Structure 1
Amino acid sequence: MRVERICPNEAEALYDCMKQIDQEAQYMLYLPEERTFNKDKLVEHLRYQFYIGVKTEDNKIMGYLSVHMSTLYKLKHIGYISIGLVEELQQQGLATKMFEETIKWAQRKGLRRLELTVITYNTPAIKFYEKLGFKIEGIKRESIYMNEHFYDELYMAMMLNEMNITKPDNLW
């Protein structure tokens, strides 16, 4: 398995991965039957937003992390994260690797903040995000409706300018 950028010509492989994760994961936003394939739209996203993925040797995409950036001037410093990883590859460090590469990219790009939301019942994900350096900023009350119940989401963010970044001595 390798972690690398997802290219526009891999739109169909990314969509297949998303569909599989929608079927496996309880906490993804899309229900399996809700996601539709619009190749042109997905290719456009892959061109203008950041997508990184977990790929097999034959280039099958098994996980992804996307960063959506606004075109609005007042919001250009923010990246909103979505992530999914097929069940069989979880707990192997691949999500951590995707985040590490994303954080490096976001710092190079000049982003100041990365943010995401997570359902409050998804304790493993919350602990994982906190371990990475995300902090809880608030609660979106009853923002998700599933299984005939309303669920709260946590709003979490990482301030990239507050991270401890070690620079080599020769740069000082």
Structure 2
Amino acid sequence: MKTVLKNGTEIVIRQAEPEDAKAIVETMALIISQTKNLGREPDEWNKTVEEETAILNRFKDSVDDYMAVADDDGHIVAVASFHGRPLKRLRHRVNLGISILKAYHHQGLGTALMKHLLQQAKRMGKHTVELEVRADNVHAIELYKKVGFVIEGVKKQGFYVDGDYIDELMMAYYMEDNL
């Protein structure tokens, strides 16, 4: 799927392939170094290309997991995915995550990636898409609400960053309410 960002850049959003593993590992390392909104510190990102390749191979045929990348002329600039569980009672739900290089923030890429993931989740028969977000990450929360997510709850002190506790919002998207 092609999308044109607000600044005119044309981006291709597509399913991640095993050949993308090295670029994904490198892009995620850079994204994690640029933000404190994700759940890990830069020194905690230690995934190898071999580990990422194995994940991508597993995702190719999965009915519960999916990963997409945003490709800017051969450069991966964002990674987005959802993960489910094979348990019959929980199979209808997936947990979503999205990570975008700072240079691509506020250009419409987040919205395009979210729509892509939600459409893929629907195609895979999922009914509920869940995510967690720092309560002070206003831009992300606005994006999630814009595409149809609702706040379900708060994990008090869900994050600990730079000596401060920050609440975490639990949000969900219900297919029957939106698509």
Flag whether TM exceeds 0.5 (same fold).
yes
**Aligned counterpart in structure 2 of residue 126 of structure 1, from 141, 146, 150:** 141
Which of 121, 144, 149 is equivalent to 1:106? 121
Partner of 2:72: 56
The total of aligned residue pairs comes to: 163
C-alpha RMSD over aligned residues: 1.2
Aligned partner (choices 43, 47, 52) of residue 42 of structure 1:
52
| Partner-residue secondary structure (3-state), 1:138 | strand
Which region of structure 1 is more displaced relative to structure 2, 109-118 or 98-107? 98-107
**Per the alignment, in what secondary structure is the counterpart of residue 71 of structure 1?**
coil
Q: Which amino acid aligns with 1:28?
A: L
Distance 1:136 1:44 in 2: 34
Amino acid at match of 1:102: L
CA apart distance, 1:64: 1.0
Asked if structure 2 preserves the Cα contact closer than 8 Å seen for 1:3 and 1:94, the reply is no
Residues 113-122 or 23-32, more deviating: 23-32
Partner residue, 1:19: 29
- Give the TM-score, by structure 2 length: 0.86
Q: After the TM superposition, list the runs of 4 or more consecutive aligned residues in structure 1 that deviate by more than 6 angstroms.
A: none
Write the mapping of 1:81-96 to structure 2, written as runs, cut at 5 A.
Answer: 81-96=96-111
Counterpart of 2:86 in 1: which secondary structure? Answer: coil
Percentage of identical aligned residues: 26
Unaligned runs of 5+ in 2: 1-10, 60-64
Q: 2-side partners of 1:44 and 1:68: how far apart?
A: 15
1:142 and 1:78 map into 2 onto residues whose CA distance is 24
Distance in 1 of aligned mates of 2:54 and 2:177 = 32
